[in-house]
Structure 1
Amino acid sequence: MNKLFVITTGTASVQWMFFIFANTVVVPVSIGAAFGLPPAETAMILRSSLIFTGIACVLQGWIGHRYPLMEGHSGLMWGLLLTLSASAGALGMDYHVIGGGIATGVIAAGGVMAVMGALKMAPWLNHIFTPMVTNVYLFLLAVQLIIIFFTGMLKVNEDGAIDPAGSFFSVCVVIAVAIMKIKGKGWISNFSILIGITAGWALYVLLFPGEAAGSAEASPFFLFPLGTPNLQWGIVIASFVTGLINMSNTIASVQAASQLYKEKAEEKKYNHSFFLTGVYTIASAPLGLVPYAPYTSSLGFLESTRIYERPPFIIGGLLLSLLGIVPAAGTFLAGIPVTVGSAVLFVAYMQLFGTALKSLQVVSFNSNTIFRIAVPVLVGISIMAIDPKLFSSLPLMIQPLLTNGMATGVILSIILEKMVKWHNYE
């Protein structure tokens, strides 16, 4: 076997592992904090997340859609859980009641998704999640992730004020990774993400010693750490509907990946992916994990690294699961400063915005048809910027859904595409 091939594949696998890890580690930690879990329980969820996410990536790349697309915690569902936890006071519920309602809705949505995949219903779903709906989803996903990682790269002191030195360091990491990506040649450009994370981490430790925290020792494993399933219907319905909308992740990811690889995506790719994601979604509830979906944002990573082969992706997934199985390894990598990881991902996800723009090149807009995309995208972004507590006067049944900007934007887009004959206004 060619030595250069082995070295390149090995390095690319490690880069994939870091990318998946950086996208994964912040999610269970943020959910643990949002639901008031003890550090040991949060550490338990983190280990489960690493093991399960690695396995999910391997199976999708092997027998699912078979593209090197990370299968991870859905940004749409992550936003729902954070929004619902923040609305606990306004909803008059404790965290375990909210968590239990979410678990019920998520299990139901996962079951529907798995059945649809098994019954080969991808063509029917493609009629709902049309290319324009997918474009809206891509724009809103890019905005939501950029906001999350821009906020994450800003170092904040205990008094809530921005730490100028730490935040400036994150900006420097962003600039350095962007320069490597744009100006770098060969492996420097291809491995800019890996270089940014490792070099940024090392420099952070030197400049801010003692501030990179590791993971706490995990508690004994138990099911439903966020709350046992219940029938709190407002939460259940919101979680179920958002879980179904989450299927747009698969449509958008497989469509965009097929365009990147310059091929036509076969229906079986959608069906296999739906089935696996449905199974993962069902399993996420008892584990206390944010439900799963193919990461459309992986396309930004692929375009940044220009490494499109599947083996590094699959090996990277196996390495991630190993981190969860070996506590010391997971604890070590959990010490990656959040600001550094967020700064590197901020650059990687700028490519996702480019993917959304490229997908619109075949569409011509005028003063009338611009509403086709402007209404759902701008309404969704506006809701993202609003404090969920402002919706507390609305009926409990619709609060959880209307406070999720991405879900609302996608629903608006589906309605507009079905109710308006846009070709009459072109």
Structure 2
Amino acid sequence: MKLGIAALQWMIFMIAAAIVAPIAIADLYQLSAVETAGFMQRTIFVLGVAGLLQGLLGHRLPIHEGPAGLWWSVFTIYAGFIGVLYTSNIAALQALSGGLLVSGVFFIILAASGFIGVLAKLFTPTVTFVYLMLLVLQLSGSFIKGMFGISADHPTMDPWMALLSAIVIIATFTFGRSKAMWVRQYSVIFSLILGWGLFLVAGKAPSVSSAHTWFDVPKLFAFGAPTFDSGVITTAIFITLLLITNLVASVRLMEGIVAKDEPSDPKRYRRGGLISGVNQLFGGGFSAIGSVPISGAAGFVTQTGQKSIKPFLIGCVLVIGITLFPPIMNVMSALPAPVGYAVTFVIFTNMVIMALKELKKITVGEENAYLVIGISLMVGVGVMFLSPSATQGLPAAVIAVLNNGLIVGSIFAIILEQFFLFREKEPKRG
């Protein structure tokens, strides 16, 4: 019974965190209602499979997979190329499917070569602190807008949604700190159900759309055969290098929670990289959004205290299962977005706590470490304020990076820290 509830909690959390991206991208590409439903089904199906493969064969940690923010950026950029580089929206999506396939192959090559293990060593407490703080800062704006009911279609704040979201936040904090262990363990599912109920009573919950069939298997190459061009291949290779950063950070964080008393397993990164490559291939094959292990899983595990991988694996199986049944999928899709944002807001406050704990681990070269942190945070947050129009005309891969302060700041932190370490070793060589 407890295992089942914990698995259901993982399932709802994974789906709630994954719904926004495919809907937003489908809108950008002006897909029909049927095409949008299929795109969402395939994306969530791939995410479920990706999490299951990682849990069984890859890093073997309870880290769910979500739509990669970098791929989301690339999809957004390529939507602007319709009518310029590509004759139609479908042609652009075919090119992106090809890009995901290229990314998968490159991911596997890098993992097999041991590159990911080398990168993992660069994630010191200083770099991890910068990564976590930038992650929270980058997402905080989306959380607030989502809880206030602000969107492209509704640019003004909805006071009722803001009030209900505040209630959900308070409830999530309360459940997560309850003296009763069973309440803490299932705090996320209690909060999601409570929030959904409040929004239903207030008439703010979206209606459940009707399904055209009871059973549907995700289709391979739904938009047609993938295409390959130099632009998308270059972009895919560059994005893969940056996705490895997300993978390493997510694995390192979760290792510190579920296996903190055990030595880090170097093979974990290689296995995780190989499976991440396979998952990118799945994304391209099923015409979905590329996936990546989500660092927020560490906050989820901290909030619920559920460190066992069993409920996570069952949750992944449930996610895969319900994508085969459109009526159930449609019900899950009707979860009010502000509820998901409110619960995730609480989960990400745990990420700030983790970041501060990483800061305490810095004992050597503190002055240089704080300088690295200061510069990296300034650069990363500054990039977040860049207008998308400021990068127009640049290659797609460069635009995707410059639209992502998390990646820019983290790369700065790695480079600066290695520079200072090199300078400290230099006199000893002389």
Classify the TM-score, shorter chain: 0.7 to 0.9
**Residues in 1 aligned to 2:146 and 2:118: alpha-carbon distance in whole angstroms:** 38
Secondary structure in structure 2 of the residue aligned to 1:72:
strand
| Residue in 2 that maps onto 1:256 | 253
Q: Give the aligned residue type for 1:229.
A: T
Return the alpha-carbon distance in structure 1 between the equivalents of residues 197 and 147 of structure 2: 16
Specify the alignment match of 2:22 in structure 1: 28
Q: What amino acid is the match of 1:334?
A: S
Matches within 5 A, 1:230-269: 230-231=228-229, 233=231, 235-260=232-257, 261-262=259-260, 263-269=262-268
- 1:140 corresponding residue in structure 2: 134
Give the stretch that moved more between structures: 314-323 or 154-163. 154-163
- Pairwise mapping of residues 314-325 of structure 1 onto structure 2 (< 5 A)? 314-325=313-324
Contact in 2 for aligned 1:107/1:282 (Cα 8 Å) = yes
1:206 and 1:379, CA in 2 relative to 1: closer, same or farther beyond 3 A? same
**Coordinate RMSD, CA, aligned:** 3.0
> Which position in structure 2 is the counterpart of 1:163?
158
Amino acid in structure 2 at the alignment position of 1:377: L
Q: Look up the equivalent residue of 1:351 and give its one-letter code.
A: N
Question: Which residue of structure 1 aligns with residue 67 of structure 2?
Answer: 73
- CA distance in 1: counterparts of 2:116 and 2:265, whole angstroms: 10
Counterparts of 1:385-424 in structure 2, within 5 Å, are 385-392=385-392, 394=394, 398-421=398-421, 424=424
| Matching of residues 269-418 of structure 1 within 5 Å | 269-364=268-363, 369-392=369-392, 394=394, 398-418=398-418
* Pairs aligned (count): 417
1:54 is aligned to 48
Partner of 2:7: 13
> Structure 1 stretch 209-218 or stretch 405-414: which is displaced more?
209-218
CA distance in 2, matches of 1:415, 1:209: 47
Give the Cα separation in 1 of the matches to 2:414 and 2:391.
23
1:61-100 equivalences under 5 Å are: 61-82=55-76, 84-85=77-78, 88=81, 95=89, 99-100=93-94
Aligned-partner Cα distance in 2 for 1:317–1:337: 21
- In the alignment, the residues of structure 1 paired with residue 409 and residue 236 of structure 2 have an alpha-carbon distance, to the nearest angstrom, of 16
Percent identity between the aligned chains? Answer: 27
CA distance in 2, matches of 1:397, 1:187: 46
Tell me: CA distance 1:287–1:134, structure 2 relative to 1, closer, same or farther (3 Å).
Answer: farther
Aligned equivalent of 1:3: none
Alpha-carbon shift at residue 193 of structure 1 (Å): 0.7
1:204-244 Cα distance to aligned partner (Å, 9 max, x none):
111116634547658994626499433252x5433421221
Is the contact made by 1:40 and 1:216 (CA closer than 8 Å) also made in structure 2?
no
Distance 1:396 1:160, change over 3 A: closer
| TM-score normalised by the chain length of structure 1 | 0.87
Distance 2:293 2:223 in 1: 24
Q: Deviations over 1:247-305 (max 9, x none)?
A: 11221122222221222221221111111111101221232322122222101000000
5 Å-filtered alignment, 1:188-227, equals 188-208=183-203, 211-214=206-209, 217=212, 221=219, 223=221, 225=223
Contact 1:136 1:410 in 2 (8 A): yes
Structure 2: unaligned runs, 5 residues or longer: 426-430
CA contact (8 A) 2:51 2:64 kept: yes
Instruction: Give the aligned partner of residue 4 of structure 1.
Output: none
- Classify 1:401/1:171 alpha carbon distance in 2 versus 1 (closer, same or farther; 3 Å): same
Which amino acid in structure 2 is aligned with residue 358 of structure 1? Answer: K
**C-alpha contact (below 8 Å) 1:75/1:141 kept by paired residues:** no
- How far 1:103 moved relative to its partner? 3.7
**Correspondent of 1:37 among 22, 27, 31:** 31
Q: Is the 8 A contact 1:254 1:270 kept in 2?
A: yes
CA distance in 1, matches of 2:332, 2:154: 27
CA distance in 1 between counterparts of 2:67 and 2:317 reads 17
Report how far residue 156 of structure 1 moved.
Answer: 3.6
With normalisation by structure 2, the TM-score equals: 0.86
Instruction: Find the counterpart in structure 1 of residue 111 from structure 2.
Output: 117
- Kindly provide the CA deviation profile for residues 158-194 of structure 1, in whole angstroms up to 9, marking residues without a partner as x: 5521111122211221122112223453222221110
Contact 1:137 1:248 in 2 (8 A): no
